[in-house]
Amino acid sequence: MRILRTAAEARAASRAWKREGLRVALVPTMGYLHEGHLSLVRLARARAGRVVVSIFVNPAQFGPAEDLDRYPRDLARDTALCEEAGVDALFCPDAGEVYPPGYATYVTVEGALTAGLCGARRPGHFRGVATVVAKLFAMVEPDAAAFGQKDAQQVAVVRRMTADLNLPVELLVGPTVRETDGLALSSRNACLTPAERAQAPVLKRALDAAAARFEAGERSAAELLSAAGTALAAAPLARPDYVDLVDAETLEPAGPALVRPALLALAVYFGATRLIDNAVLTPSFGSC
């Protein structure tokens, strides 16, 4: 496995593979890899002859009061996991390589895709995400790139940005990978205390509570949100940041009654650690 540290090295490696006729897929990560990331590596591998994993804890997507410094890091372990997973190259630029002195350019996705959910609670977050993804796409020049559905709003923002800026990258979206108790895998799970960890599966239980009501025919957004909220309230360490229902495609607020696929999205604090999770609720139409 190659270790690439500069944009020039990443581009040279990618172009050399393409000259051999190989497709290149990128899995952008912030490191501290878990099975969710590795599932994206497998998804990427299925669509490309060469897989690059990038590891970059992107300062531009953290607010000043957020957990950039606390974000878990373990490059030695990440390297071993990528090697085991058959990754062809690990791209781990430092912050000065990505944002050199005088850096001034940002990519923003405006409107409903970034107005709500995490976009409302983390000002500038998706500007940082869109910017670093545009840069990683330019540095690695991948044919495809894999993202996890756990970060549903990020997927929507990256999809819009990729289409809008005419970037020739196929997006692959992998399903959320969970612990056996339902907790969505996240590098931030490592920050939970044992007591917090024990209650963290409440996010999935809240999604399941709303989904069960939905499956039973409930279409009232207020009722579905109430079901999720009631489930969350059962975990005393959980402090909800938001519980919201939005259109699954546009991320605009869902109407009072669901008629189109909706995204039920949660962000919940446990102490200083903020976890997110989501589920798509898709109204089915009778076979008449």
Residues making contact with its own copies (CB under 8 A): 7, 11, 102-111, 113, 130, 134-135, 138-139, 160-161, 164-168
The answer to whether residues 174 and 168 touch, using CB atoms and an 8 Å cutoff, is no
Q: How many CA atoms lie within 13 A of 62 on its CB side?
A: 14
Q: Closest approach of Cβ 279 to its own copies, in Å?
A: 24
The answer to whether residues 52 and 24 touch, using CB atoms and an 8 Å cutoff, is yes
Sheet hosting strand 262-270, strand order edge to edge = 238-247, 262-270, 273-281
Q: Is the Cβ of residue 103 or residue 193 nearer to its own copies in the bound state? A: 103
Q: Closest approach of Cβ 106 to its own copies, in Å?
A: 5
Q: How far apart are CA 141 and CA 144, in angstroms?
A: 9
Q: Closest approach of Cβ 250 to its own copies, in Å?
A: 8
Of 14, 33, 37, 191, which residue is the catalytic one? 37
The answer to whether residues 36 and 147 touch, using CB atoms and an 8 Å cutoff, is no
The burial class, CB within 10 Å (0-12 / 13-18 / 19+), for 279 is buried
The string of DSSP letters for 133-162 reads HHHHHHHH--SEEEEEGGGHHHHHHHHHHH
User: What is the number of other CB atoms lying within 10 angstroms of the CB of residue 13?
Assistant: 20
**Tokens representing residue 41 in the block:** 């590596």
Q: Which amino acid makes up residue 125?
A: H
Sequence-distant (6+) residues with CB within 8 A of 226 are none
Closest to 75 measured CA to CA, from 98, 93, 100 = 93
Q: Closest approach of Cβ 22 to its own copies, in Å?
A: 16
Q: How far apart are CA 184 and CA 106, in angstroms?
A: 30
125 is catalytic: no
Any idea which residues carry the catalytic annotation? 37
